[in-house]
């Protein structure tokens, strides 16, 4: 019987073990993932992980992925990529529509073949 309040994460940990995934600590340092021994669990927080035997401190792989998915750096990186993409597309579209731009001039006045 599964101890009350531990849920499916505890059962799967006992059966196959849940390892600590890679993480970034509060200082921004990257730490590789590591395996916990049998009957030990990945414990800790989003910014500090270790192996322990206390199932109440269990940090499931789902919880660990949630830490990565919604970290401020991840959100900032995605936002930066979206802004950069929009800026590039806008620049290209504007270049085709602005008469002072090289791409506009090439489109309006295609080069004529050299006559010899």
- What percent of the chain is predicted at pLDDT more than 70? 75
The model carries a pTM of: 0.49
Render pLDDT for 29-73 as a digit per residue (tens, 0 to 9): 889 999 998 889 899 998 899 999 988 888 998 888 888 766 677
Q: Classify residue 90 as exposed, middle or buried by CB count within 10 Å of its CB (0-12, 13-18, 19+).
A: exposed
- Cα–Cα dist 81/4, whole Å: 44
- Where does the pLDDT of residue 114 fall: very low under 50, low under 70, confident under 90, or very high at 90 and above? low
Contact 42, 59 (CB under 8 A): yes
- Cα–Cα dist 39/13, whole Å: 8
Q: Where are the domains of the chain?
A: 15-70, 72-108
Question: Which pLDDT score, from 0 to 100, does residue 112 have?
Answer: 65
- Where does the pLDDT of residue 17 fall: very low under 50, low under 70, confident under 90, or very high at 90 and above? low
């Amino acid at each position: 019987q599964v101890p009350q309040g531990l849920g499916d994460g505890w059962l799967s940990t006992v059966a196959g073990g849940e390892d600590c995934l890679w993480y970034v600590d509060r200082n921004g340092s990257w730490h590789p993932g590591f395996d916990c021994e049998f009957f030990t669990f990945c414990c800790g927080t989003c910014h500090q992980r270790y192996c322990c035997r206390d199932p109440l401190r269990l940090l499931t792989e789902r919880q660990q992925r949630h830490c990565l998915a919604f970290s401020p750096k991840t959100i900032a990186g995605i936002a930066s990529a979206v802004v950069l993409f929009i800026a590039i597309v806008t620049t290209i579209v504007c270049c085709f529509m602005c008469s002072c731009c090289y791409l506009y001039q090439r489109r309006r006045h295609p080069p004529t073949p050299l006559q010899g």
